[in-house]
Amino acid sequence: MKMKNSWLFKLLGAFLLIIVLGGLVTSLLTSRATLSAFNLYTTRSGQIWAQRLAPYLVEYYQLNDSWKSVNIFLEGSSMTSSLQHQGMMGQGNGKGSGQGLSTDNSMMGALGQRLVLTDQLGMVIYDSLDEYTGILLTPVEIKKGIPILADNKSVGTLLITPGSLAASTSLANEFQVSVRRAIIGSALIAGLTALALGIFLFFQITAPMRKLRKAASAIADGDLTQRVEIRGEDEFAQLGETFNQMAANLSLAELHRQHLMADVAHELRTPLTAIQGTVEGMQDGVLPCDSDQLNALLAETTLLNRLIEDLRLLSLAETNQLKLLRQPVEVNGLINQIIERIQPQARLKEIHLDFSLQEGLPSLQLDPDRVTQILNNLITNALRYTTKNGSILISTTQQTPTSPVTISVTDTGTGITSQDLAHVFDRFYRADKSRSRASGGSGLGLAIVKELVEAHGGSIKVESPVYKTEAHPGYGTRFVMQFPLSQQ
């Protein structure tokens, strides 16, 4: 429950943080954009008014050949009458038409605008608010106005701007406040929506996690049959698939463990029972305590010791704890030595043991004792299942100078059925169920071979034809091993 609350708080907190940050950024950018747009609007609006007033000022300058007494003209009734005639002033404003363009009663004042006129040098010669009169404007400020051209010569500049700083910002401030209120209201609505949506998404998103946690807890308690339902193809579905695969592997490993314990108990029980029976027979006087009985006891203890040693070796190999004493090994020479030692056994069983070794193979970094154990096991196994007058062939090949070296052991024995072929490397597995340990081994030999080959970085596979006839005898079983040139 603590974990669930933590996830919920983190998810909702992230949503709210995003909304707050988004609202702040949006408010800041909107305020700046609003102020900029408002200033641009007032500037363009002033230029439009200035363009309408400019012709009257041009006419005044041409008549007087100077700006002398222009303030009287701008504030006088003649200018007002002209503007009223052109429809630039509203009617019925309660101030009368003869008031001129004075600061308080003019159309500019009513609209919160100020009128600024400069001479050709940029010096202010008229300011309706009488603040900038006599001040030289900057080129940037002059660019906001409309030039007064008399006979294609600039004689001054007319600027119409907001009447005062308060007047220029009041509308913008009101609009910005309105926008901020809208943003805050939207943020609050979005926050409440995010809370509701976050809670809904939390339970939707974490539903697979809760199922996975429940299944994992069940597996931790020993129930390896637990699986999670997989929907979709997203990351949670992939996690569920991985979990199911892990659970299946654990279940299979547990099944193998149980079988291994049963197999080990069975394999150990047989020699121990024989030893116990022989010793009890000697104690009861049923069996004589002579060399024959002692030899039988020695054979059983030898078999028991070999079985224990095979289990130890297999355990070390499976857990990557088996130490290999690697050294450069000339594979063909090692195979010749092994064949020379086993040849008498083959002749005794009237089986032809032959080899086909490719020349020029590179030396491999191998543990010669373990490779000898591998080949001895495979050849001995082939001798066991090859009938009289059969043959066994050991061969080495390499396709290219950089490809792995292949070693194969092929016999003409009875072969392996397709059902048994997939289990030949399993522990305690015997393809011929009728064979005993004495004639068929402990069932660990091929499992040890596989682990030793893979410990060298190699691979092994087994082949056996499905059909064999007298006309096409083919071969019985072929074990193919590959050892890479560079091994870790």
Q: Of 99, 110, 93, 92, give the one whose Cα is nearest residue 49.
A: 110
**pLDDT for 141:** 85
Residues constituting the chain: 488
- Sign of the torsion angle spanned by Cα atoms 11, 12, 13, 19: positive
**pLDDT for 305:** 82
Domains of the chain: 2-170 (3.30.450), 235-318 (1.10.287.130), 327-483 (3.30.565.10)
**pLDDT for 473:** 59
List the chain pLDDT tens, one digit each, 488 residues: 444 556 667 777 777 787 778 777 877 777 677 767 777 777 777 778 788 888 888 888 888 888 988 888 887 644 545 544 444 444 333 333 333 343 333 445 544 567 889 998 999 998 888 888 888 988 888 888 889 998 888 899 988 876 554 444 565 567 667 777 777 777 778 777 877 877 787 777 777 777 888 888 888 888 878 887 777 777 777 888 888 888 888 887 777 677 667 767 766 777 788 888 888 888 888 888 888 888 888 888 887 887 788 778 877 777 777 888 899 999 999 999 999 999 999 999 999 999 999 999 999 999 999 999 999 989 998 998 888 889 999 999 999 988 999 999 999 888 888 788 888 888 776 655 544 444 445 567 888 899 899 989 999 999 887 545 555 556 789 999 999 987 54
**pLDDT for 371:** 93
